[in-house]
Amino acid sequence: MSSRDVVLRRVREALGHAGSASGEPAAAESVTSEAAEYRRVGELDAEARADLFAERAAEYRVRVRRVERDGLPSAIRAELEAHGVRTAVAPADVPEAWRVAGVHWRLDGAPGSGGLLDTRALDATDAVVTGCALAVAETGSLVFDGGERQGRRLLTLLPDLHLCVVREDQVVQTVPEAVTGSEDAARRGAPITWVSGPSATSDIELERVEGVHGPRTLIVLLVR
């Protein structure tokens, strides 16, 4: 008998099925929706959502700037310059306009441009610029699913500064909306990462200290 058989048999016996498998349970979704009426959808309009996102993200020490569409490239340039960024990396599919002058750019994952960047080279890069899949207003969170303009997970982890371009229409209000919004990606098996502020720890006398392992500076450009 394999360990798999042993464990499953123990579970079945514990549940009183004496060895045979549990029947197909009722769809889990009906369990949650019947259980309790928690909020699923927010009531704020797009403008209020964007404002809330900006406010909440700022509370977690995210630097948030509101920009107009045509002001985006100069905003990117201004931020990178202000933070002394000289080298930056971006996923291969970011718009050319984002790759502003004054910075040495490397693209990650473009065929024929070096493919995936070497880990140490990534670590030595000052900044990373990406888009995102979604943003969550109530928690000030960014959601990444490896899709358009996001690249692979390592990109947003190693460089010390992460600048993320978020369109206002990507902002949802509640956590349930964000989970629903990434359901397709989840079903496809895409890796999904939620980022809420720069890296932090409260391990020393419960004082929240920023910047342990992830990017210590997180900048969001919220585009109308």
Partner 1 sequence: MSGGTPRARPFSKAAREALQDTQLRRNLARATSTIREKRLRATEELPDWQELREAGRAIKAHTLAHLDHYLMRLEQNVVARGGQIHWARDAAEANAIVQALVSETGVREAIKVKSITTDEIGLNDALAAIGVHAIETDLAELIVQLAHEPSSHILVPAIHKNRAEIRALFLEAMGIAPSELSDEPAELAAAARRFLRAKFLEARVGISGANFAVAETGAVCVVESEGNGRMCTTLPDTLITVMGIEKVVPDWRAMEVFLQLLPRSSTAERMNPYTSFWSGVRPGDGPQAFHLVLLDNGRSEVLAHRERRQTLHCIRCSACLNVCPVYARVGGHAYGSHYPGPIGAILSPQLLDSPEADTLPFASTLCGACYDVCPVKIDIPSVLLDLRLRSVERRRARRGRLAALDTEDGAMRLAAAVFAEPRRYQWAQRGARLAQAPFVRDGYLERLPGYLAGWTRTRDVPAVPAQTFREWWRERRGSGGSQR
Residue span binding partner 1 (CB under 8 A) among the ranges 42-50, 71-79, 98-106, 212-220: 212-220
CB 136, min distance to partner 1, A: 8
CB 113, min distance to partner 1, A: 14
The nearer residue to partner 1, 105 or 194, going by C-beta atoms, is: 194
Given a contact cutoff of 8 angstroms between Cβ atoms, the answer to whether 156 and 128 are in contact is yes
CB 102, min distance to partner 1, A: 27
SS3 85: coil
112 touching partner 1, by CB under 8 A? no
92 touching partner 1, by CB under 8 A? no
44 touching partner 1, by CB under 8 A? no
208: phi then psi, degrees, rounded to nearest 5: -70, 120
Given a contact cutoff of 8 angstroms between Cβ atoms, the answer to whether 72 and 94 are in contact is no
Rounded to an integer, what distance in angstroms lies between the CA atom of residue 186 and that of residue 166?
20
157 touching partner 1, by CB under 8 A? yes
The nearer residue to partner 1, 81 or 148, going by C-beta atoms, is: 148
SS3 13: helix
Q: Which of 79, 162, 214, 217 binds partner 1 (CB under 8 A)?
A: 214
Rounded to an integer, what distance in angstroms lies between the CA atom of residue 191 and that of residue 150?
11
Q: Which of 68, 96, 112, 120 binds partner 1 (CB under 8 A)?
A: 120
43 touching partner 1, by CB under 8 A? no
Rounded to an integer, what distance in angstroms lies between the CA atom of residue 55 and that of residue 18?
55
The nearer residue to partner 1, 24 or 70, going by C-beta atoms, is: 24
Residues 6 or more apart from 134 whose CB is under 8 A from it? 142, 143, 170, 171, 172, 178, 181, 182
Site size for partner 1, by CB under 8 A?
79
Given a contact cutoff of 8 angstroms between Cβ atoms, the answer to whether 124 and 160 are in contact is no
131 touching partner 1, by CB under 8 A? no
Beta bridge partners of 104: 87
217 touching partner 1, by CB under 8 A? no
Residues 6 or more apart from 102 whose CB is under 8 A from it? 77, 80, 81
The nearer residue to partner 1, 6 or 97, going by C-beta atoms, is: 6
The nearer residue to partner 1, 67 or 90, going by C-beta atoms, is: 90
Q: Which of 48, 60, 107, 224 binds partner 1 (CB under 8 A)?
A: 60
28 touching partner 1, by CB under 8 A? yes
